[in-house]
Chains A and B, each alone.
Chain A
Amino acid sequence: MIDRSPSTLIKAVSRQLQDVMDPELTFLSVIDMGILRDVRFENGHIVCVITPTYSGCPATEVISEDVLQAAREIDPEAEVKVVLSPAWTTDWISLEAREKMTANGIAPPEGSSHDKAFLTGDGHTIPCPMCKSKETKLISPFGSTPCKASFVCNACLEPFEHFKCF
């Protein structure tokens, strides 16, 4: 007899979801990214609540599907619910995840999203994730995915991406 008590299921699904990675940042899990907002037991089954990073981020659909698949391995009746409110913010990205970004050549978001200057990068320096120099330059406020901006390091001349503070 499988233990279907809510707390056991929630624990098992939560553990399972640690291995569901962001399809664009494959070294970060949906938990690291703050995309998974909640795992709860509702009407006899597990409900995983996720929130998109950007309104049109194509990764949301893939993430939703991946989370559903992972959760259904534990609870075949599991469901995924996408919520918009409260809106996702980079403040939810864990410290550990920020370190992983740096290790993978992406400058993590700096500061708090409440400081609007951080969003547009005005008056703030983004250190190079490779050589740590602060002599960096914004090339474009947009990048390969909606969440990133393009920078170049004037010291080591390496172009890099910065995860926007959002």
Chain B
Amino acid sequence: MDALLRLGDDALVLAQRLGEWCGHAPALEEDIALTNIALDLIGQTQSYLSLAGSLDPDAPKTDDELAFLRSDREFKNLLLVEQSNGHFGDTIARQFLFDKYALLRAEHVAQQTFDMDAAAIAAKAVKEIRYHADHSSKWIIRLGDGTSESHSRIQKSINDLWKFTGEMFAADEVDIAGSIAGLLPDLTALKTQWDEEIDKVLLEATLVRPEDGEMKTGGRTGVHTEELVTMLAEMQVLPRTHPGASW
């Protein structure tokens, strides 16, 4: 269940962040792009959380209950995806670092046979994330290999977010158990692939890969940055204020 919550929460929290761009992006096309990506992620969330919620037959939970009625300590997403949007470059950098990881992970989940329901969700997600990764990579290249202003700003965005990338590959007992069962990928192998993918794009973008410094972790066990708390307050206010509201 924890493994599925991680998959679902990464998608949900990032989708909510991207949704904040609605009506605010620098161009209409990007407004549509970011919210379209959010929509795909919400769809993946619904599937993963419905599946996660069905696993305990004594206390089944719906996707909505898991999304709207859990506290920040119960969310299992990466710290990276909860970071605030910043400027457009910050959002693209966050998306790029996550997309490349999410794609490799979904490709694994789609092919494993331990949980066929999760495999079906991931098979669908792979196609969507591949499209997202293509979009974010092209923006990294355009901004990095653009003007001196765009170059320095996107470099700073990547530098600032780098401390959250270690968490993607910091395997804990859930990852190890999931990897032994087959559901989750081996994160050491995933890291090698991710490094290659990231380096390839950064090179083309004439950007420098930041040095690995101290990495921030905690999201996977529910210890989040303040960013998540304020985000959830907004996301959950309606169902918490009006339980069972419908329209």
Contact = CB atoms under 8 A, between A and B. Distances in A.
Given A54-B124, A58-B39, A85-B120, 16 more contacts: A54-B39, A54-B43, A55-B47, A56-B40, A56-B46, A84-B120, A85-B123, A85-B124, A87-B120, A119-B127, A119-B131, A140-B33, A141-B33, A143-B36, A146-B40, A164-B131
Contacts of B37: 142
16 contacts: A52-B43, A54-B124, A56-B39, A56-B42, A56-B46, A57-B43, A85-B124, A86-B123, A87-B120, A87-B124, A119-B131, A119-B134, A141-B135, A142-B29, A143-B32, A150-B29
Contacts of A58: 39
A150 B28 CA distance: 11
Interface string A80-108: 00011111100000000000000000000
B32 A144 contact: yes
Contacts of B44: 55-56
Interface of A: 52, 54-58, 83-88, 113, 116, 119-120, 139-144, 146, 150, 164, 166
Contacts of A56: 39-44, 46
Nearest to A88: B124
Nearest to A164: B131
Main SS class of interface, B: helix
Contacts of A113: 127
B186 interface: no
Nearest to A145: B36
Contacts of A119: 127, 130-131, 134
A56 B36 CA distance: 9
A146 B40 CA distance: 8
Interface string B138-165: 0000000000000000000000000000
Nearest to A121: B134
